[in-house]
A and B are shown apart, each in its own frame.
Chain A
Amino acid sequence: MNNFLDFIKKDIEAKKTLVSTMPSRTKTNVKKLNQTIDNIEDKYINYKTSLVNYLLAKSRSFTLKDDVSDVNTDKLNEKIINLEHVKFLLNPTNTYFEKMGFDTLLYQINNYTTFNFDSLNDIINGFLDKFQLVGIALTKDDFHYTCYVHEYMTAFLDVRNKKTKNYDKVGEVFEQIYWINPELIEHIELNFRKLIKINEKRFSNYILELQKDAMRDNNVENYNDCIEKLKSLYIDLNLAKKETVNDIIALARKGDIDIEQLREGSKARINAYNTLVPTEVDTSNEKEMVKVCNVLEKLKINIEEYNNYLEFLPLFNEFRDEYINLVPKDDNEVPYKGLKEVVEKINSKENELERINKKIFSGKPGFFEFKSDNDLKHLKAESVLKAKELYKLYKTYDEEYFKAKVMSTLSNTLTIMDVLNLYYSFDYFKKLAIAKAYDTNSFEEISKYSEDFDLFAMNTTNIIVSGLPLFDERNIARIIANKYNLNSIKLTEEALDEDNLTNLLNQILLILRINKIENSKTTIEKIWFMCKVDKIVSNERKNGNLL
């Protein structure tokens, strides 16, 4: 007998019979029984030790050499980060306002209730830093939107200029003002908005200089050139980052994928082939399967894009419902004037507020001095009231500002890609739209949606959304299914249901991984064996049988 497995199977059977039939009534019987058990156990522990050592050596012999790639992904990533920054600076859809990051700060200050007092100070410092970037050191005299804004910012700048970072005193000032003027933070926001407007030229020029430097440093001619270069870099990066057999082995050993599913005869494997590979394809034919897998690679990318599209469908629907009635029907339509009108109203009201403030700051209500404290109180209350009205007007301004941007591109041929570009270019409005579409006020949730949205919008492999009209409903699942049926892939509309997409993606990945392993220097069985040995080793270590 030289087959170890056959031997132990028969031997174990015999030993089990022996042990089970040994008498155990008396102490002597038991002693003998335990002695016999000890002897058999010693032998089998020795067997196990030898076997485990053999398993370990065998598993180690299956290790593949590291995939040495010619491409330096770190360098590629660095180039991409640089070009993404150039793209951000050259984006023709937005203005200096978004490129300076003022929209992100505005969103934060609008949500100040989510933060603590320290975070509020960070936001205010964020505004001040941006002014400093373009060489404007704001002083207390720049903050006279209301007398309370002036009082608060005087205290704030005092601490900031001392660089002490101890804002306790500012907190006390805030506390005092808050009970008279709870809208103080909103009015600080308005003061910044006004200062940004006044210094528009400085910011625009600063961005222009940044654009010039970035284009020169990165050898980019214009926005489109930048996009093309980025596309090509992403193709290189995706190729370099393509999953290798060693990646699959690592995933299996970590337990991130179940290697059992890749084995011949497994239910998951049979299901995946039955779902996607037509019966006429000989799955054991290497050439035929390579062809199928090339198509499946593309399908995988399309499904990932479709999945992203479905995630943000509520946002697209919200946009469509908001703007469908504004789509120009003919060329003779009256040009859109909403933004201009609200700007005029803001200017006029800000002038009124300035006149009141002049009286308050100069201490003269008119030609004469204040007769009593009441006069001053009255003026202060009036200024706060005006600022409150202005805050409402700025809200309208925000809506009209984005509307104006939308109107400049709005047509019945607007695509999902256009909407992606619009929201990607206007962070503030994207977040407002997310809050509405997903009915949430959670800052964290909105930020997460926003990050995912940006990744989707930036993805250069997007192809479905680039031609997908917003105002003309299409059955995308059917379009994808039909396309791949033409490419000899079995795909039903049902498989592309939102609830089935993860399963479909897993099935595609399963077939791709099987194919990759089968065309490599290893086998699924070897990987399965390595995973099993890993578990055995971990079990033996846990029981103290192995170092």
Chain B
Amino acid sequence: MKNEEIIDFDLSRLSLSDLIEAYEEIEEFLHFLNDQRIEEDDLDE
């Protein structure tokens, strides 16, 4: 089983509030990732 594919998860087993929480976790993580990105042009080799 490929754990990281959402298809392998049975979302119907999550409660309604867990589903919303999952969305909020992802959304927050995507923001985090965005903040971690560094502009490559700003650095010397």
Asked if A458 lies at the interface with its beta carbon under 8 angstroms from chain B, I say no
Contact B22–A4 (Cβ < 8 Å): yes
Contacts of B37 in A (CB 8 A): 33-34, 37
Bitwise, B3-44 to A at CB < 8 A (1) or not (0) is 110111111011011111111011101101110111010011
Q: Are B23 and A48 in contact (CB under 8 A)?
A: yes
CA distance A28 to B45 in the complex (A): 7
Could you tell me the distance in whole angstroms from the C-beta of A514 to the nearest C-beta in chain B? Answer: 17
Determine whether A361 belongs to the interface, using a CB cutoff of 8 Å to chain B.
no
Closest Cβ of chain A to B10, distance in Å, is: 6
How many residues in A have their beta carbons less than 8 Å from beta carbons of B?
44
Of the candidates B33, B38, B40, B44, the one whose C-beta lies within 8 Å of that of A41 is B33
Task: Spot the interface stretch: A19-27, A196-204, A378-386, A411-419.
Answer: A19-27
Cross-chain contact A11 with B4 (CB below 8 angstroms): yes
The verdict on A1 contacting chain B, using a C-beta distance below 8 Å, is: yes
A3→B14 contact, CB < 8 A: yes
A48 and B33 contacting across the interface, CB-CB below 8 Å = no
- Which residues of A (515-547) have their CB < 8 Å from a CB of B? 525-526, 528-529, 532-533, 536
- Tell whether A44 pairs with B9 under 8 Å between CB atoms, given A7-B3, A55-B23: no
Given pairs A2-B8, A9-B25, 9 additional interface contacts (CB within 8 A):
A2-B10, A3-B14, A5-B18, A37-B37, A41-B34, A44-B26, A48-B23, A51-B26, A536-B20
| Contact present for A31 and B10 (CB under 8 Å) | no
B residues at A contact (CB < 8 Å):
3-4, 6-11, 13-14, 16-23, 25-27, 29-30, 32-34, 36-38, 40, 43-45
Residues A379-427 near B (CB distance < 8 A)? none
Asked if A115 CB lies within 8 Å of chain B CBs, one says: no
CA distance A533 to B20 in the complex (A): 8
Establish whether residues A37 and B33, one from each chain, have CB atoms under 8 Å apart when the complex forms. Answer: yes
Give chain A's interface secondary structure class.
helix
**Alpha-carbon gap, A43 to B33, bound state (A):** 12
Q: Given A2-B10, A26-B43, A536–B16 Cβ distance below 8 Å?
A: no
Find out whether the CB atom of B23 lies under 8 angstroms from the CB atom of A536: yes
Within 8 Å of chain B (Cβ to Cβ): is A46?
A: yes
Q: Indicate if A12 sits at the interface (CB-CB under 8 A).
A: yes
The answer on a CB contact under 8 Å between A51 and B43 is: no
- With contact pairs A30-B38, A33-B36 given, residues A4 and B30 touching in the complex (Cβ less than 8 Å): no
Q: Is A40 an interface residue (CB 8 A)?
A: yes
**Is A81 in contact with chain B by the CB < 8 A criterion?**
no
- Say whether, besides A20-B36, A41-B33, A51 and B23 are in contact (CB < 8 Å): yes
A50 to B10, CA, bound (A): 12
* B9 and A7 contact, CB distance less than 8 A: yes
**Contact A43/B4 with A2-B13, A51-B26 known, Cβ cut-off 8 Å:** yes
Show 29 A/B contacts (Cβ-Cβ < 8 Å), sorted by A: A1-B3, A2-B10, A3-B9, A4-B11, A5-B14, A5-B21, A5-B22, A7-B3, A7-B9, A8-B26, A15-B29, A19-B36, A27-B40, A27-B43, A33-B36, A34-B38, A34-B40, A37-B37, A43-B4, A44-B26, A44-B29, A45-B30, A48-B26, A51-B22, A51-B23, A58-B19, A525-B16, A529-B16, A533-B20
